[in-house]
Structure 1
Amino acid sequence: MKPHLNDSEWFDDDPRWSLPSPYDPPGEVEEDPDAPEGVAAWDLPLPRADRRDLLDVDPWRRAEAALAADLARAAQALGRLDEAVRRVGQGAAERLAYREVEAMLRADGRWLDRDRIGRAQLDAGGDPDRVRDLERARWALRRLTASPGVPSDLRRFLGRHRPAWQGDPLLAERVTLDAAVDDVQHAWQEVLDRSAHLHPITQGCAALRAWRLLDVSGEGEGLDGAVMASRIAAREHRALGFVPLAPAGQSWRRGGAVLDVLRLWMAEVRSGALSALADLDRAADWREQATARVADLGGRNPAKVLAVLAARPYVSAADVAETATVSRDTAERILRTFEQRGLVHEITGRGRFRLWRATV
């Protein structure tokens, strides 16, 4: 029996080495007059695409005009959400940011629930197998909970720098680790300048498209662009520094025609804002119901602890003691009582350095 092709030994004079391959260059190729001497058209690396005109603003302007009603509905929902966050305080923005980062990571193929992110963010226990993902989550949380505004320095936004401890250790000179960011800084700023006349919601979507074309984050990294686009879309807010798309978030990875992409983006912005408002309403309802369920405890301390739990997504006993101006022992005793009554949930499962959250 003739041996299989993969089982036979190939000698240097085997005629099969000379068989044509579909990957061979064509026999006759017109030479490129601009190519360097001795470089063929199929040689690697291939020429890079011209990225000087990454964003044609006219299609976005036309799509924005065509979707004026969708834009108005999305902007109205965002305005209501921004005002609600302003009334409740920074804790509301933090609560929504945990929710948003969880959805962003899921869209990026990283499955981390917000309790795991909260433990890592507050140094109450991490996951050694997910260090990289937790670092990315903490990075996104810091950006989303910042004051409204468009980040202007790409290197600072991406955190691609390190302190140089040469000489005086008090002088932390920021040294660029990824020189490619400097290469796209000018092009990115041009994108922002050219799209500045668009509505912030539209500009955020257009900026996300340009971010991908610039390949700022690299292959498979969608979190950076999603955070940047979310902050750009919220640049005129007074309290909430990002635009929520959770729980949907298909727009973070969606491509296609400008009109279709922008229509989906506006729909998800509106649904994300309404969903976030519902989350804040649930937190308010929890506080009202919890107040009634602890009325028998007497004193002012239970109500003060409830206020802390309603205002912040995760708290420790030390946080409660400081914010509610009670002793540490009192804070721990009240938290244990609340846990027994099903009002709070302890997320660390440990005896020390524990974290609680309201059962919203």
Structure 2
Amino acid sequence: MAAFLDRRDPENIEGSAERFEDRAGGWLDVMAAAAELHPITRACMGFHLWSLAGLGQHGDQMEAAVTASRIAASDGSGAIFAPLAMGGAGGLRASGLPPKRLTGWLDGMNSAILTAMRHLNDIETWTSKTEKEMSRLSGRTPPALRAVLTEWPMISAPMAENLTGASRTAVQRNLSWMEAQGLIREVTRQGRYRMWQASH
């Protein structure tokens, strides 16, 4: 784990200080002891124990969240995809006793899944509407650009150019047309480094 996370103890670590390998080993031992729990419960447990074990760096919870997602999907009976952050901070809040944390985790997961499903429904509706509106346009750029905007929450012109294989001119022309039709909106509100997203 130390090599994967690229974590090293200082060379002058004091004798009383616990080494990273020992802290990681303690976390792994606790997680192994919880092997009989449901993967979603283990994911919650692993997330909240991560910082208590001293594995987080400067309060960063990204590694803990990624590890928790891998635990949740580990054996196929848990959550294959649970965008917990989409449900607000409640599921990731580290306060209260373990039952309260697990309840918050499950509520946050439920809220996140509902939010993600609404977003997917909006994208599906947008795709149907956009396909109909763009049917009068010729060439391969309009459908390719529509596909990119379906798959990505926001795009820039260089990103669209790269993903569609179309020229910068064709991408800019189609983005301008889509924006004029109200199909997409520019979200950065600046002249350079502009980003667009689907208008739901």
TM-score with structure 2 length normalisation? 0.77
Query: The residue matched to 1:296 in structure 2 has which SS?
Result: coil
Count of residue pairs the alignment pairs up: 191
Query: The residue matched to 1:345 in structure 2 has which SS?
Result: strand
- For 2:76 and 2:194, locate their aligned partners in 1 and report how far apart those are by CA, in whole Å: 34
Q: Which has the higher contact order (CA 8 A, sep 6+)?
A: 1
- For 1:313 and 1:329, locate their aligned partners in 2 and report how far apart those are by CA, in whole Å: 22
- For 2:57 and 2:160, locate their aligned partners in 1 and report how far apart those are by CA, in whole Å: 41
What are the residue-to-residue correspondences of 1:167-316 with 2, within 5 Å?
176=8, 180-217=19-56, 220-236=59-75, 243-245=82-84, 246-316=86-156
Deviations 1:172-213 (A, max 9, x none): xxxx26675333121121122112222110101111232242
- For 1:193 and 1:357, locate their aligned partners in 2 and report how far apart those are by CA, in whole Å: 43
> CA, structure 1 residues 327+237, in 2 after alignment: closer, same or farther (shift >3 Å)?
farther
> CA, structure 1 residues 357+259, in 2 after alignment: closer, same or farther (shift >3 Å)?
same
Query: Which structure has the highest helix share of the two?
Result: 2
Q: Which runs of 5+ in 1 are unaligned?
A: 1-152, 161-175
TM-score with structure 1 length normalisation? 0.46
Specify the code of the residue in structure 2 equivalent to 1:209: H
Give 1 or 2 for the bigger CA radius of gyration: 1
Q: Which runs of 5+ in 2 are unaligned?
A: 14-18
Query: The residue matched to 2:55 in structure 1 has which SS?
Result: coil
Deviates most, 210-219 or 274-283? 210-219
Contact conserved, 1:244 with 1:273, CA < 8 A, in 2? yes
Root mean square deviation, CA, Å:
2.9
Specify the code of the residue in structure 1 equivalent to 2:4: R
Shift of 1:300: 4.2
**Residue 156 of structure 1 corresponds to which residue in structure 2?**
4
**Residue 132 of structure 1 corresponds to which residue in structure 2?**
none
